[in-house]
Structure 1
Protein backbone atom coordinates (compact mmCIF):
# COMPACT_ATOMS: atom_id res chain seq x y z
CA UNK A 1 0.00 0.00 0.00
CA UNK A 2 2.68 2.51 1.13
CA UNK A 3 2.43 6.19 1.97
CA UNK A 4 4.20 9.09 0.28
CA UNK A 5 4.74 12.67 1.42
CA UNK A 6 6.53 15.59 -0.19
CA UNK A 7 7.00 19.24 0.70
CA UNK A 8 8.50 22.02 -1.43
CA UNK A 9 8.94 25.31 0.43
CA UNK A 10 8.59 28.54 -1.53
CA UNK A 11 9.46 30.81 1.40
CA UNK A 12 12.88 30.71 3.05
CA UNK A 13 11.34 31.57 6.42
CA UNK A 14 9.85 28.06 6.60
CA UNK A 15 13.08 26.21 5.88
CA UNK A 16 14.05 25.60 9.54
CA UNK A 17 10.70 23.78 9.94
CA UNK A 18 11.03 21.43 6.95
CA UNK A 19 12.01 18.33 8.92
CA UNK A 20 9.39 18.96 11.58
CA UNK A 21 6.57 19.31 9.04
CA UNK A 22 7.70 16.32 6.98
CA UNK A 23 7.94 14.17 10.10
CA UNK A 24 4.36 14.96 11.09
CA UNK A 25 3.18 14.21 7.56
CA UNK A 26 5.01 10.88 7.44
CA UNK A 27 3.83 9.72 10.86
CA UNK A 28 0.25 10.35 9.75
CA UNK A 29 0.82 7.85 6.92
CA UNK A 30 2.02 5.08 9.27
CA UNK A 31 -0.91 2.75 8.73
CA UNK A 32 -0.21 2.77 4.99
CA UNK A 33 3.16 1.13 5.60
CA UNK A 34 4.63 0.17 8.97
CA UNK A 35 7.59 -1.88 7.71
CA UNK A 36 10.21 0.79 7.03
CA UNK A 37 10.47 4.51 6.43
CA UNK A 38 12.78 7.09 4.95
CA UNK A 39 13.16 10.77 4.19
CA UNK A 40 15.34 12.75 1.77
CA UNK A 41 16.17 16.26 2.95
CA UNK A 42 17.49 18.92 0.58
CA UNK A 43 19.43 21.26 2.84
CA UNK A 44 22.06 23.93 2.50
CA UNK A 45 25.00 23.51 0.13
CA UNK A 46 28.48 23.90 1.56
CA UNK A 47 30.66 23.65 -1.53
CA UNK A 48 31.29 19.99 -0.68
CA UNK A 49 29.77 16.73 -1.84
CA UNK A 50 27.61 14.96 0.75
CA UNK A 51 27.76 11.16 0.73
CA UNK A 52 25.23 9.54 3.06
CA UNK A 53 26.25 6.02 4.10
CA UNK A 54 24.66 3.33 6.27
CA UNK A 55 25.95 0.41 8.32
CA UNK A 56 24.37 -2.29 10.46
CA UNK A 57 27.43 -2.00 12.73
CA UNK A 58 28.11 1.75 12.75
CA UNK A 59 30.33 1.79 15.84
CA UNK A 60 32.84 -0.42 14.06
CA UNK A 61 32.42 0.75 10.48
CA UNK A 62 32.35 4.50 11.15
CA UNK A 63 35.29 4.55 13.59
CA UNK A 64 38.04 6.45 11.81
CA UNK A 65 36.20 6.34 8.49
CA UNK A 66 36.63 10.08 7.88
CA UNK A 67 40.36 9.94 8.55
CA UNK A 68 40.89 6.89 6.34
CA UNK A 69 38.85 8.37 3.50
CA UNK A 70 40.63 11.69 3.82
CA UNK A 71 44.00 9.95 3.60
CA UNK A 72 42.88 8.04 0.50
CA UNK A 73 41.62 11.23 -1.17
CA UNK A 74 44.46 13.45 -0.05
CA UNK A 75 41.95 15.96 1.32
CA UNK A 76 40.22 16.55 4.66
CA UNK A 77 36.87 14.79 5.12
CA UNK A 78 34.25 15.81 7.66
CA UNK A 79 31.82 13.22 9.02
CA UNK A 80 28.54 13.56 10.92
CA UNK A 81 27.31 10.29 12.42
CA UNK A 82 23.53 9.99 12.77
CA UNK A 83 22.57 6.63 14.31
CA UNK A 84 23.17 3.96 11.63
CA UNK A 85 23.97 6.60 9.00
CA UNK A 86 26.82 9.03 8.49
CA UNK A 87 27.15 12.02 6.20
CA UNK A 88 30.62 12.45 4.73
CA UNK A 89 31.68 15.77 3.20
CA UNK A 90 34.26 15.34 0.45
CA UNK A 91 35.59 17.58 -2.35
CA UNK A 92 33.17 17.97 -5.26
CA UNK A 93 35.60 16.35 -7.69
CA UNK A 94 36.26 13.31 -5.47
CA UNK A 95 33.01 11.39 -5.97
CA UNK A 96 34.40 8.45 -7.97
CA UNK A 97 37.42 7.66 -5.74
CA UNK A 98 35.36 8.23 -2.60
CA UNK A 99 32.66 5.79 -3.70
CA UNK A 100 35.27 3.21 -4.70
CA UNK A 101 36.88 3.51 -1.26
CA UNK A 102 33.54 3.19 0.56
CA UNK A 103 32.61 0.13 -1.48
CA UNK A 104 35.79 -1.61 -0.35
CA UNK A 105 35.03 -0.66 3.26
CA UNK A 106 31.64 -2.36 2.99
CA UNK A 107 29.41 0.57 3.96
CA UNK A 108 26.22 1.15 1.99
CA UNK A 109 25.78 4.38 0.08
CA UNK A 110 22.28 5.82 0.51
CA UNK A 111 22.75 8.89 -1.64
CA UNK A 112 25.17 11.46 -3.02
CA UNK A 113 24.62 15.14 -3.66
CA UNK A 114 25.56 18.71 -2.90
CA UNK A 115 22.37 19.28 -0.89
CA UNK A 116 20.61 15.89 -0.52
CA UNK A 117 20.84 13.65 2.53
CA UNK A 118 18.87 10.38 2.76
CA UNK A 119 17.98 8.58 5.99
CA UNK A 120 16.03 5.31 5.97
CA UNK A 121 15.66 2.25 8.16
CA UNK A 122 13.34 -0.60 9.09
CA UNK A 123 10.69 0.44 11.63
CA UNK A 124 7.74 2.72 12.21
CA UNK A 125 8.00 6.28 10.83
CA UNK A 126 7.94 7.85 14.31
CA UNK A 127 10.85 5.67 15.41
CA UNK A 128 12.88 6.15 12.24
CA UNK A 129 12.38 9.92 12.34
CA UNK A 130 13.37 10.04 16.02
CA UNK A 131 16.51 7.95 15.48
CA UNK A 132 17.78 10.38 12.85
CA UNK A 133 16.56 13.61 14.43
CA UNK A 134 14.62 14.52 11.29
CA UNK A 135 12.51 17.12 13.13
CA UNK A 136 15.58 19.30 13.68
CA UNK A 137 16.64 19.27 10.03
CA UNK A 138 16.03 22.29 7.82
CA UNK A 139 16.02 22.66 4.08
CA UNK A 140 14.19 23.81 0.99
CA UNK A 141 12.28 20.61 0.21
CA UNK A 142 12.07 16.92 0.95
CA UNK A 143 10.20 13.71 0.23
CA UNK A 144 9.38 10.74 2.44
CA UNK A 145 7.92 7.25 2.31
CA UNK A 146 6.54 4.66 4.66
CA UNK A 147 6.53 1.17 3.19
CA UNK A 148 4.36 -1.91 3.21
CA UNK A 149 6.67 -4.44 1.55
CA UNK A 150 5.19 -6.48 -1.29
CA UNK A 151 7.70 -7.33 -3.98
CA UNK A 152 10.89 -7.52 -1.87
CA UNK A 153 12.05 -8.11 1.69
CA UNK A 154 11.78 -5.70 4.61
CA UNK A 155 15.33 -4.36 4.72
CA UNK A 156 17.11 -1.03 4.94
CA UNK A 157 18.13 -1.26 1.29
CA UNK A 158 14.53 -2.03 0.32
CA UNK A 159 13.25 1.12 1.99
CA UNK A 160 12.57 4.32 0.05
CA UNK A 161 13.77 6.85 -1.09
CA UNK A 162 16.02 5.38 -3.79
CA UNK A 163 18.82 7.44 -5.29
CA UNK A 164 20.72 6.51 -8.44
CA UNK A 165 22.26 9.90 -9.32
CA UNK A 166 23.53 12.98 -7.57
CA UNK A 167 20.86 15.00 -5.77
CA UNK A 168 18.09 12.86 -7.31
CA UNK A 169 15.82 10.40 -5.51
CA UNK A 170 12.44 8.73 -5.87
CA UNK A 171 9.61 7.39 -3.73
CA UNK A 172 6.90 5.19 -5.23
CA UNK A 173 3.49 3.77 -4.39
CA UNK A 174 2.42 0.92 -6.68
CA UNK A 175 4.09 -1.84 -8.65
CA UNK A 176 5.95 -1.95 -11.96
CA UNK A 177 5.29 -4.98 -14.17
CA UNK A 178 8.22 -4.53 -16.56
CA UNK A 179 10.96 -3.65 -14.09
CA UNK A 180 13.07 -6.71 -14.94
CA UNK A 181 13.02 -5.84 -18.64
CA UNK A 182 13.91 -2.25 -17.76
CA UNK A 183 16.83 -3.50 -15.63
CA UNK A 184 18.21 -5.24 -18.70
CA UNK A 185 17.73 -2.14 -20.83
CA UNK A 186 19.48 0.01 -18.26
CA UNK A 187 22.30 -2.53 -17.89
CA UNK A 188 22.98 -2.25 -21.61
CA UNK A 189 23.65 1.43 -20.94
CA UNK A 190 26.01 0.55 -18.07
CA UNK A 191 23.46 1.40 -15.36
CA UNK A 192 23.04 -1.29 -12.69
CA UNK A 193 20.62 -1.47 -9.76
CA UNK A 194 21.59 -2.92 -6.38
CA UNK A 195 18.29 -4.24 -5.01
CA UNK A 196 15.26 -6.24 -6.10
CA UNK A 197 12.97 -3.27 -5.49
CA UNK A 198 11.16 -2.03 -8.60
CA UNK A 199 11.32 1.54 -7.29
CA UNK A 200 15.08 1.58 -7.74
CA UNK A 201 14.49 0.76 -11.39
CA UNK A 202 12.14 3.73 -11.66
CA UNK A 203 14.76 5.97 -10.06
CA UNK A 204 17.46 4.69 -12.42
CA UNK A 205 15.22 5.23 -15.44
CA UNK A 206 14.50 8.85 -14.48
CA UNK A 207 18.13 9.67 -13.70
CA UNK A 208 19.30 8.03 -16.94
CA UNK A 209 16.91 10.18 -18.96
CA UNK A 210 18.13 13.32 -17.21
CA UNK A 211 21.75 12.28 -17.82
CA UNK A 212 20.89 11.98 -21.52
CA UNK A 213 19.72 15.61 -21.56
CA UNK A 214 16.03 15.37 -20.68
CA UNK A 215 14.49 17.85 -18.28
CA UNK A 216 12.83 16.59 -15.12
CA UNK A 217 9.44 17.05 -16.76
CA UNK A 218 10.52 15.13 -19.88
CA UNK A 219 11.96 12.30 -17.78
CA UNK A 220 8.71 11.97 -15.84
CA UNK A 221 6.73 11.99 -19.09
CA UNK A 222 8.95 9.16 -20.29
CA UNK A 223 7.81 6.97 -17.41
CA UNK A 224 4.31 7.00 -18.88
CA UNK A 225 5.60 5.49 -22.13
CA UNK A 226 8.36 3.18 -20.95
CA UNK A 227 7.26 1.89 -17.53
CA UNK A 228 4.29 -0.47 -17.22
CA UNK A 229 2.21 -1.06 -14.13
CA UNK A 230 0.49 1.22 -11.67
CA UNK A 231 2.48 3.90 -9.92
CA UNK A 232 2.60 7.23 -8.25
CA UNK A 233 6.11 8.68 -8.42
CA UNK A 234 7.38 11.60 -6.38
CA UNK A 235 10.93 12.55 -7.26
CA UNK A 236 13.34 15.03 -5.73
CA UNK A 237 16.15 16.95 -7.40
CA UNK A 238 18.52 19.63 -6.16
CA UNK A 239 16.19 22.37 -7.36
CA UNK A 240 12.73 20.93 -6.83
CA UNK A 241 10.38 17.99 -6.94
CA UNK A 242 7.96 16.38 -9.38
CA UNK A 243 4.90 14.13 -9.35
CA UNK A 244 3.43 11.76 -11.93
CA UNK A 245 0.70 9.08 -11.77
CA UNK A 246 0.12 6.28 -14.25
CA UNK A 247 -2.83 6.57 -16.69
CA UNK A 248 -5.16 4.49 -14.47
CA UNK A 249 -4.15 6.31 -11.26
CA UNK A 250 -5.58 3.73 -8.87
CA UNK A 251 -3.24 4.77 -6.05
CA UNK A 252 -4.52 7.65 -3.89
CA UNK A 253 -2.84 11.03 -4.17
CA UNK A 254 -3.61 14.60 -3.20
CA UNK A 255 -1.76 17.90 -3.50
CA UNK A 256 -2.02 21.28 -1.80
CA UNK A 257 -0.49 24.63 -2.73
CA UNK A 258 -0.27 27.96 -0.97
CA UNK A 259 1.97 31.00 -1.44
CA UNK A 260 4.36 29.33 1.02
CA UNK A 261 4.62 25.72 -0.13
CA UNK A 262 3.52 22.84 -2.35
CA UNK A 263 2.68 19.58 -0.57
CA UNK A 264 1.97 16.04 -1.73
CA UNK A 265 0.55 13.12 0.24
CA UNK A 266 -1.18 9.82 -0.30
CA UNK A 267 -4.06 11.10 1.83
CA UNK A 268 -5.35 14.56 2.76
CA UNK A 269 -5.04 13.92 6.50
CA UNK A 270 -1.25 14.28 6.17
CA UNK A 271 -1.85 18.01 5.48
CA UNK A 272 -3.87 18.63 8.64
CA UNK A 273 -1.11 20.41 10.59
CA UNK A 274 0.45 22.37 7.71
CA UNK A 275 0.29 26.14 8.18
CA UNK A 276 -2.42 27.80 6.10
CA UNK A 277 -3.86 24.51 4.83
CA UNK A 278 -7.39 25.84 5.36
CA UNK A 279 -6.90 28.33 2.50
CA UNK A 280 -4.74 26.13 0.25
CA UNK A 281 -5.70 25.08 -3.24
CA UNK A 282 -6.22 21.33 -2.86
CA UNK A 283 -6.61 18.92 -5.77
CA UNK A 284 -6.11 15.34 -6.89
CA UNK A 285 -3.31 15.15 -9.48
CA UNK A 286 -4.64 14.02 -12.84
CA UNK A 287 -3.69 10.64 -14.33
CA UNK A 288 -0.80 10.64 -16.83
CA UNK A 289 -0.01 14.26 -15.99
CA UNK A 290 3.35 15.60 -14.88
CA UNK A 291 3.59 18.23 -12.15
CA UNK A 292 6.86 19.74 -11.01
CA UNK A 293 8.11 22.78 -9.15
CA UNK A 294 11.64 24.18 -9.09
CA UNK A 295 13.32 27.04 -7.31
Structure 2
Protein backbone atom coordinates (compact mmCIF):
# COMPACT_ATOMS: atom_id res chain seq x y z
CA UNK A 1 0.00 0.00 0.00
CA UNK A 2 2.79 2.42 0.89
CA UNK A 3 4.66 1.67 -2.35
CA UNK A 4 1.52 2.33 -4.36
CA UNK A 5 0.86 5.61 -2.57
CA UNK A 6 4.43 6.78 -3.21
CA UNK A 7 4.29 6.00 -6.92
CA UNK A 8 1.01 7.88 -7.39
CA UNK A 9 2.74 11.03 -6.12
CA UNK A 10 5.66 10.86 -8.57
CA UNK A 11 4.95 14.16 -10.29
CA UNK A 12 4.97 15.99 -6.95
CA UNK A 13 8.56 14.91 -6.30
CA UNK A 14 10.63 13.07 -8.92
CA UNK A 15 14.06 13.90 -7.43
CA UNK A 16 14.31 11.40 -4.58
CA UNK A 17 12.19 9.19 -2.36
CA UNK A 18 12.43 7.39 0.92
CA UNK A 19 10.46 5.60 3.58
CA UNK A 20 10.54 4.31 7.13
CA UNK A 21 8.97 0.98 8.07
CA UNK A 22 8.24 -0.01 11.65
CA UNK A 23 8.55 -3.80 11.73
CA UNK A 24 9.47 -6.36 14.35
CA UNK A 25 12.07 -5.64 16.99
CA UNK A 26 14.02 -7.69 19.52
CA UNK A 27 14.22 -7.04 23.26
CA UNK A 28 17.22 -4.93 24.28
CA UNK A 29 18.33 -4.60 20.67
CA UNK A 30 18.57 -1.59 18.41
CA UNK A 31 18.56 -1.43 14.62
CA UNK A 32 20.94 0.88 12.81
CA UNK A 33 19.94 1.89 9.28
CA UNK A 34 23.20 2.34 7.37
CA UNK A 35 23.87 3.84 3.94
CA UNK A 36 26.98 3.60 1.75
CA UNK A 37 28.04 3.76 -1.88
CA UNK A 38 26.76 1.16 -4.34
CA UNK A 39 28.60 -2.14 -4.01
CA UNK A 40 29.79 -1.49 -0.47
CA UNK A 41 30.75 -4.63 1.51
CA UNK A 42 28.51 -4.42 4.55
CA UNK A 43 29.38 -8.00 5.51
CA UNK A 44 32.99 -7.02 6.16
CA UNK A 45 31.82 -4.12 8.27
CA UNK A 46 29.57 -6.42 10.32
CA UNK A 47 32.44 -8.86 10.84
CA UNK A 48 34.49 -6.04 12.33
CA UNK A 49 31.64 -5.38 14.76
CA UNK A 50 31.74 -8.88 16.26
CA UNK A 51 30.82 -8.61 19.93
CA UNK A 52 32.20 -11.61 21.88
CA UNK A 53 29.11 -12.13 24.02
CA UNK A 54 26.74 -11.88 21.07
CA UNK A 55 28.70 -13.01 18.00
CA UNK A 56 28.15 -11.42 14.61
CA UNK A 57 25.25 -8.94 14.64
CA UNK A 58 22.28 -9.73 12.37
CA UNK A 59 22.64 -7.96 9.02
CA UNK A 60 20.14 -7.36 6.20
CA UNK A 61 21.52 -5.70 3.07
CA UNK A 62 19.23 -3.92 0.61
CA UNK A 63 21.16 -2.29 -2.23
CA UNK A 64 23.01 0.77 -0.84
CA UNK A 65 21.51 0.34 2.64
CA UNK A 66 21.85 -2.21 5.40
CA UNK A 67 20.07 -2.84 8.68
CA UNK A 68 22.34 -4.06 11.43
CA UNK A 69 21.01 -5.09 14.86
CA UNK A 70 23.20 -4.66 17.95
CA UNK A 71 22.67 -4.72 21.73
CA UNK A 72 21.07 -1.44 22.81
CA UNK A 73 23.72 -1.06 25.51
CA UNK A 74 26.43 -1.06 22.83
CA UNK A 75 24.89 1.47 20.43
CA UNK A 76 27.25 4.27 21.45
CA UNK A 77 30.25 1.96 21.00
CA UNK A 78 29.05 0.89 17.55
CA UNK A 79 28.50 4.50 16.48
CA UNK A 80 31.99 5.41 17.66
CA UNK A 81 33.43 2.44 15.75
CA UNK A 82 31.65 3.48 12.57
CA UNK A 83 32.74 7.10 12.88
CA UNK A 84 36.38 6.16 13.49
CA UNK A 85 36.79 3.17 11.19
CA UNK A 86 34.09 3.60 8.54
CA UNK A 87 33.41 7.33 7.98
CA UNK A 88 32.16 6.46 4.50
CA UNK A 89 29.08 4.83 6.08
CA UNK A 90 26.21 7.08 7.16
CA UNK A 91 23.83 6.18 9.98
CA UNK A 92 20.43 7.10 8.54
CA UNK A 93 18.44 6.23 11.64
CA UNK A 94 18.25 4.00 14.71
CA UNK A 95 15.52 2.44 16.79
CA UNK A 96 14.10 -0.73 18.20
CA UNK A 97 11.73 -1.17 15.23
CA UNK A 98 12.39 1.56 12.65
CA UNK A 99 14.19 0.89 9.38
CA UNK A 100 14.87 3.76 6.94
CA UNK A 101 15.71 3.59 3.24
CA UNK A 102 16.09 6.51 0.82
CA UNK A 103 17.74 7.24 -2.49
CA UNK A 104 17.84 9.64 -5.43
CA UNK A 105 15.43 8.72 -8.23
CA UNK A 106 11.78 8.16 -9.01
CA UNK A 107 9.71 6.69 -6.18
CA UNK A 108 8.89 3.55 -8.18
CA UNK A 109 12.59 2.92 -8.72
CA UNK A 110 13.44 3.55 -5.08
CA UNK A 111 10.59 1.31 -3.85
CA UNK A 112 11.69 -1.50 -6.21
CA UNK A 113 15.37 -1.13 -5.33
CA UNK A 114 14.72 -1.69 -1.65
CA UNK A 115 11.83 -4.14 -2.02
CA UNK A 116 9.29 -1.99 -0.19
CA UNK A 117 6.29 -3.95 -1.47
CA UNK A 118 7.53 -7.09 0.33
CA UNK A 119 8.23 -5.42 3.66
CA UNK A 120 5.80 -5.62 6.56
CA UNK A 121 5.17 -3.71 9.73
CA UNK A 122 2.55 -1.98 11.84
CA UNK A 123 3.05 1.39 10.12
CA UNK A 124 5.24 3.16 7.62
CA UNK A 125 5.94 6.66 6.34
CA UNK A 126 7.02 7.58 2.81
CA UNK A 127 7.98 10.75 0.97
CA UNK A 128 8.87 11.73 -2.56
CA UNK A 129 10.71 14.99 -2.99
CA UNK A 130 11.11 17.90 -5.36
CA UNK A 131 14.27 19.58 -4.10
CA UNK A 132 13.73 23.26 -3.29
CA UNK A 133 15.74 23.85 -0.10
CA UNK A 134 18.87 21.83 -0.83
CA UNK A 135 20.62 19.81 -3.52
CA UNK A 136 19.27 16.58 -5.04
CA UNK A 137 21.20 14.07 -2.94
CA UNK A 138 20.45 10.86 -1.11
CA UNK A 139 21.35 12.53 2.19
CA UNK A 140 18.79 15.25 1.47
CA UNK A 141 15.97 12.80 0.84
CA UNK A 142 13.24 12.25 3.44
CA UNK A 143 12.56 10.81 6.01
CA UNK A 144 14.94 12.52 8.44
CA UNK A 145 15.67 10.88 11.75
CA UNK A 146 17.38 12.59 14.67
CA UNK A 147 16.03 10.43 17.50
CA UNK A 148 15.44 6.77 18.29
CA UNK A 149 12.49 5.31 16.37
CA UNK A 150 11.57 8.87 15.34
CA UNK A 151 11.44 10.23 11.81
CA UNK A 152 9.87 13.16 10.01
CA UNK A 153 8.71 13.98 6.50
CA UNK A 154 7.80 17.52 5.56
CA UNK A 155 5.85 19.23 2.81
CA UNK A 156 6.55 22.97 2.75
CA UNK A 157 9.32 25.36 3.70
CA UNK A 158 10.73 26.85 6.91
CA UNK A 159 12.05 30.41 6.78
CA UNK A 160 13.99 30.36 10.08
CA UNK A 161 15.71 26.97 9.76
CA UNK A 162 19.27 28.38 9.63
CA UNK A 163 18.79 30.26 12.87
CA UNK A 164 17.22 27.20 14.51
CA UNK A 165 20.01 24.96 13.25
CA UNK A 166 22.61 27.11 14.99
CA UNK A 167 20.60 27.10 18.21
CA UNK A 168 20.05 23.34 18.14
CA UNK A 169 23.72 22.64 17.45
CA UNK A 170 24.55 24.45 20.69
CA UNK A 171 22.10 22.08 22.39
CA UNK A 172 23.96 19.04 21.03
CA UNK A 173 21.72 18.18 18.06
CA UNK A 174 23.75 17.16 15.00
CA UNK A 175 22.81 17.60 11.34
CA UNK A 176 24.04 15.95 8.16
CA UNK A 177 22.47 18.25 5.53
CA UNK A 178 21.33 21.81 4.89
CA UNK A 179 17.74 20.65 4.47
CA UNK A 180 15.18 22.62 6.49
CA UNK A 181 13.23 19.41 7.14
CA UNK A 182 16.15 17.95 9.10
CA UNK A 183 16.01 21.03 11.33
CA UNK A 184 12.33 20.32 12.04
CA UNK A 185 13.22 16.74 12.98
CA UNK A 186 16.04 17.97 15.21
CA UNK A 187 13.77 20.48 16.87
CA UNK A 188 11.28 17.77 17.84
CA UNK A 189 14.10 15.56 19.16
CA UNK A 190 15.37 18.44 21.28
CA UNK A 191 11.91 19.06 22.71
CA UNK A 192 11.48 15.36 23.49
CA UNK A 193 14.85 15.28 25.28
CA UNK A 194 13.56 18.12 27.44
CA UNK A 195 10.72 15.88 28.58
CA UNK A 196 7.95 16.99 26.25
CA UNK A 197 5.55 14.52 24.70
CA UNK A 198 5.41 14.40 20.91
CA UNK A 199 2.13 16.31 20.99
CA UNK A 200 3.66 19.00 23.20
CA UNK A 201 6.72 19.21 20.94
CA UNK A 202 4.57 19.66 17.85
CA UNK A 203 2.45 22.30 19.56
CA UNK A 204 5.59 24.18 20.61
CA UNK A 205 6.71 24.10 16.98
CA UNK A 206 3.68 26.17 16.02
CA UNK A 207 5.38 29.06 17.81
CA UNK A 208 9.02 28.31 17.08
CA UNK A 209 8.94 27.09 13.45
CA UNK A 210 8.22 29.88 11.01
CA UNK A 211 6.95 28.93 7.57
CA UNK A 212 4.36 26.81 5.87
CA UNK A 213 4.41 23.09 6.44
CA UNK A 214 2.72 19.79 6.95
CA UNK A 215 4.63 17.34 9.16
CA UNK A 216 4.12 13.60 9.43
CA UNK A 217 6.16 12.20 12.33
CA UNK A 218 6.75 8.51 12.94
CA UNK A 219 7.42 6.98 16.35
CA UNK A 220 7.78 3.40 17.56
CA UNK A 221 4.10 3.28 18.51
CA UNK A 222 2.42 5.36 15.80
CA UNK A 223 2.49 8.56 13.82
CA UNK A 224 1.43 12.18 14.18
CA UNK A 225 0.30 14.89 11.74
CA UNK A 226 0.52 18.66 12.05
CA UNK A 227 -0.26 21.47 9.60
CA UNK A 228 0.82 25.09 10.03
CA UNK A 229 -1.75 27.63 11.32
CA UNK A 230 -2.70 28.72 7.81
CA UNK A 231 -2.70 25.17 6.36
CA UNK A 232 -0.94 26.30 3.18
CA UNK A 233 -0.05 22.81 1.97
CA UNK A 234 -2.65 20.23 0.91
CA UNK A 235 -3.36 17.27 3.15
CA UNK A 236 -6.02 14.57 3.40
CA UNK A 237 -6.65 11.69 5.82
CA UNK A 238 -8.56 8.43 5.54
CA UNK A 239 -9.58 6.49 8.63
CA UNK A 240 -11.12 3.01 8.87
CA UNK A 241 -11.26 0.26 11.50
CA UNK A 242 -8.24 -1.35 9.79
CA UNK A 243 -5.94 1.58 9.02
CA UNK A 244 -5.27 5.31 9.04
CA UNK A 245 -3.67 6.86 5.98
CA UNK A 246 -2.29 10.28 5.12
CA UNK A 247 -1.58 11.80 1.71
CA UNK A 248 -0.72 15.19 0.27
CA UNK A 249 -3.54 14.57 -2.20
CA UNK A 250 -6.59 12.31 -2.24
CA UNK A 251 -5.36 10.49 -5.34
CA UNK A 252 -2.65 8.89 -3.18
CA UNK A 253 -5.41 7.16 -1.19
CA UNK A 254 -7.85 6.03 -3.88
CA UNK A 255 -6.38 2.53 -4.29
CA UNK A 256 -6.42 1.68 -0.59
CA UNK A 257 -8.74 -1.21 0.34
CA UNK A 258 -12.11 -0.06 1.63
CA UNK A 259 -11.42 3.59 0.84
CA UNK A 260 -15.03 4.03 -0.32
CA UNK A 261 -16.18 3.41 3.27
CA UNK A 262 -13.40 5.36 4.99
CA UNK A 263 -13.91 8.57 6.91
CA UNK A 264 -12.04 10.97 4.65
CA UNK A 265 -11.21 14.41 6.03
CA UNK A 266 -8.81 17.32 5.81
CA UNK A 267 -6.72 17.82 8.97
CA UNK A 268 -7.46 21.11 10.69
CA UNK A 269 -4.77 23.83 10.82
CA UNK A 270 -2.57 24.05 13.93
CA UNK A 271 -4.06 20.82 15.29
CA UNK A 272 -2.01 17.82 16.40
CA UNK A 273 -3.32 14.42 15.33
CA UNK A 274 -1.81 11.17 16.59
CA UNK A 275 -2.62 7.50 16.14
CA UNK A 276 -1.05 4.59 18.01
CA UNK A 277 -0.75 0.97 16.96
CA UNK A 278 -2.58 -1.76 18.84
CA UNK A 279 -0.29 -3.13 21.54
TM-score, normalisation: structure 2: 0.95
1:239 match? 221
What is the 5 A alignment of 1:161-180? 161-180=143-162
Gaps of at least 5 residues in structure 1 are 1-20
Aligned to 2:234: 252
Q: Is 1:213–2:201 an aligned residue pair?
A: no
Measured after TM superposition, the shift of residue 69 of structure 1 is 1.2
Find the counterpart in structure 1 of residue 78 from structure 2. Answer: 98
CA drift at 1:221: 0.7
1:22 alignment counterpart = 2
Which residue does the alignment assign to 1:36?
A: 16
2:271 aligns with 289
Deviation at 1:71, TM superposition (A): 4.8
Label 1:194 to 1:276 Cα distance change in 2 as closer, same or farther (>3 A).
same
Structure 1 segments of 4+ aligned residues over 4 angstroms from their partners: 71-75
Q: Does the aligned pair in 1 maintain the 2:237–2:267 contact within 8 Å?
A: yes
Aligned to 2:26: 46
1:87-236 correspondence runs (5 A): 87-104=67-84, 105-106=86-87, 107-236=89-218
Alignment length (residue pairs):
274
User: 1:40·1:119 contact (CA, 8 Å) conserved in 2?
Assistant: yes
Deviation at 1:208, TM superposition (A): 1.2
Structure 2 portions without partners, runs of 5+: none
Structure 2 distance, partners of 1:76, 1:143, is 30
Are 1:73 and 1:94, in contact at CA under 8 Å, matched by a contact in 2?
no
